[in-house]
Amino acid sequence: MSFHSRDSDISRLNREASMRVVTVDPLTFRVLETARALFELSGGLFDVTVAPGLQRLGLLPVDEPAPLPSPAPEANFAAAELLPDCAIRFHHPAIKIDLGGIAKGFAVDRAVEVLRNRSITGGVVNAGGDLFAFGTEGHPTHIRNPFSPLRTLCRLDLTNEALASSGSYNPPSKLPMAPSAILDPTSQLPARRICAASVRAPSCILADALTKVVVLAGEGAGPLLKQFNASALFVFATGDVLVTSDWKEALPHAA
């Protein structure tokens, strides 16, 4: 599912699916089906066709020597058709997809499935911050302060749930804060109002994808979170933090 590998399903789709039907691996197709459901349920906020926008911002590599195609608002995920037998067709020449906002969560869920199938009763799979803690024991996790990388915002005890985080976190060696790689579909520019979000959800693929919706919609993501039995914390660029009420205990000085 890598955008960077020439032989991956995603690269084949990006090169050929606007010209003909392309068949992909069943696992890739499952991720695309989830991406499709989230695209519809989030009113288009979660849209994996962000790849050209990310290329234009220098956040994804450009493969071809030719100039990038002009932005085309109608080249969104609604123009991607999912067909029987894991086949896909894009109905616009400018569509390019990147699964970077959802595939890591999916990989974590698959790894947990493998462990559970081997009768392992408890553990944690952590893919660089997108994680799933399964079993009866709570797994203590801290969420980093996006403005001050050596400090934490809160501590959670995760039990049989996933946690994912997205946004710009100030890496210790770099100032100023890098802009978020989460693009607002309307402006095609990085989200600026909310700089970081974390989501707890029953699966890591959902947690991963929902962080993007929370960064873009903020409080507006409430109904969607509730629909998926998920909850969230997010941080405004101004510094204020909003959490769903079930995170109250995790905050050190919450009233």
Which range in 30-38, 79-87, 140-148, 202-210 contacts other proteins by CB under 8 A?
140-148
Which range in 28-36, 106-114, 135-143, 235-243 contacts other proteins by CB under 8 A?
235-243
d(CA 154, CA 247): 9
Residue 92 corresponds to which tokens in the numbers above?
């616009």
In the complex, least distance from residue 147 CB atom to other proteins, rounded to whole angstroms: 5
Binding mask 28-57 toward other proteins (x if CB under 8 A, else -) reads: ----------------------------xx
Please give the DSSP secondary-structure letter assigned to residue 248: G
**Which residue type is seen at 4?**
H
**Which residue type is seen at 148?**
S
Residue whose tokens read 């403005």? 147
d(CA 13, CA 18): 8
HSE-CB at 226 with a 13 A cutoff on CA atoms is 7
- Radius of gyration of the chain from its Cα atoms, rounded to whole angstroms: 18
Residue 2 corresponds to which tokens in the numbers above?
């890598």
In DSSP terms, 130 is beta-bridged to 127
In the complex, least distance from residue 193 CB atom to other proteins, rounded to whole angstroms: 8
In the complex, least distance from residue 165 CB atom to other proteins, rounded to whole angstroms: 15
Does residue 187 bind other proteins (CB under 8 A)?
yes
Does residue 179 bind other proteins (CB under 8 A)?
yes
Binding residues for other proteins restricted to 73-102, rule: CB under 8 A: 73
Q: From the list 41, 72, 115, 124, which residue makes contact with other proteins (rule: CB under 8 A)?
A: 72
d(CA 228, CA 205): 11
Does residue 245 bind other proteins (CB under 8 A)?
yes
What residue ranges bind other proteins (CB under 8 A)?
56-58, 62, 67-68, 70-73, 145-148, 151, 153, 170, 174-179, 184-189, 192, 219, 222-223, 225-226, 235, 237-245, 247-248, 251-254
